[in-house]
Amino acid sequence: MGETVLRLRDVHKSYGRQEVLRGIDLDVAEGEVVCLLGPSGSGKSTLLRTINHLEPLDRGAVFLRDELIGYRESGGRLVELGDRELAGQRARFGMVFQGFNLFPHMTVLENVVEAPIRVRRESVATARTRAVDLLTSVGLADRADAYPRHLSGGQQQRVAIARALAMSPAVLLFDEPTSALDPELVGEVLDVMRHLAAGGMTMLVVTHEITFARDVADRAVFLDHGTIIEQGPAADVLERPRERRTREFLTHVR
């Protein structure tokens, strides 16, 4: 495991009077796979969204390789970055959501080359070559010209992963990537994620797939009511949780 890629310090976030994140500290090292678990409403999605500044923080800071995300210092104060700078920072996080979120009017290949061409100004030829490689790696090279609606949910989610990878992100953020899938399609998506993890990708994964977390994650982190209540090596924490709330959660999802 390498140096710290992602660092969260005292991250706070409220919606109105509801405090959803109550001071989160989390470091993710290069090549590390961290699974984030916790009951519905505990703040997992909000945490992922604050990391790439889809949600502004109320307090605390997020760093990607020592670069402050979302803000710059100006005269001792923090000023939110402009849209262009935010887009540049966001491009360094790949995000894969529960609901695939592919562009419906674009083919699989077009979905994958879109951001590299538009955001990174890659040539069409370069972007296409890389997209074909990525689609091959997720087992979908033969569906490059299909439209998302003609793919299964599992295939769509594998395209979404290829699309995220096309930007060569420093970190991949997954928000319950298999929760919307029919049970028989979960395995093919987890296999792709397993493969990425083995290849050294740095990943923060919100999931209820306990077996995946135990087998693939280096670390499991439990969130409850916006606080990390327990964390440690995935095998230890998932097999022998110390906290009552962690044990209760694990009994429910198993």
Residue 44 or 219 with smaller CB distance to Mg ion: 44
Locus of tokens 């995220």: 164
Q: Does 45 bind Mg ion (CB under 5 A)?
A: yes
Q: How many CA atoms lie within 13 A of 89 on its CB side?
A: 24
CB 207 within 8 A of CB 37: yes
Q: Does 155 bind ligand ADP (CB under 6 A)?
A: no
Residue 112 or 181 with smaller CB distance to ligand ADP: 181
Strand partners, 19: 14
| Exposed/middle/buried for residue 25 (C-beta within 10 Å: 0-12, 13-18, 19+) | exposed
Among 1, 15, 59, 242, binds ligand ADP (CB under 6 A): 15
Spatial distance between the Cα atoms of 209 and 177, rounded to a whole number of angstroms: 10
Among 41, 82, 88, 233, binds ligand ADP (CB under 6 A): 41
User: Residue 103 binds which entry of ligand ADP, Mg ion, none, with Cβ cut-offs from 5 to 8 Å by kind?
Assistant: none
Q: Does 70 bind ligand ADP (CB under 6 A)?
A: no
Residue 15 or 103 with smaller CB distance to ligand ADP: 15
Spatial distance between the Cα atoms of 16 and 234, rounded to a whole number of angstroms: 34
Residue 188 or 224 with smaller CB distance to ligand ADP: 224
What's the closest the beta carbon of residue 124 comes to ligand ADP, in angstroms?
A: 37
Q: How many CA atoms lie within 13 A of 129 on its CB side?
A: 5
x/- letters, 46..65, toward ligand ADP (CB under 6 A): x-------------------
Dihedral (C-alpha) 230, 233, 235, 240: value to the nearest 10 degrees? Answer: -40
What's the closest the beta carbon of residue 86 comes to Mg ion, in angstroms?
A: 22
Tell me the DSSP string of 14-30: EETTEEEEEEEEEEEET
Spatial distance between the Cα atoms of 113 and 124, rounded to a whole number of angstroms: 8
| Window of 21-29, 44-52, 66-74, 160-168 that interacts with Mg ion by CB under 5 A | 44-52
Q: Does 44 bind ligand ADP (CB under 6 A)?
A: yes
Q: Does 231 bind Mg ion (CB under 5 A)?
A: no
Give the residues lining the site for ligand ADP (CB under 6 A).
15, 20, 38, 40-46
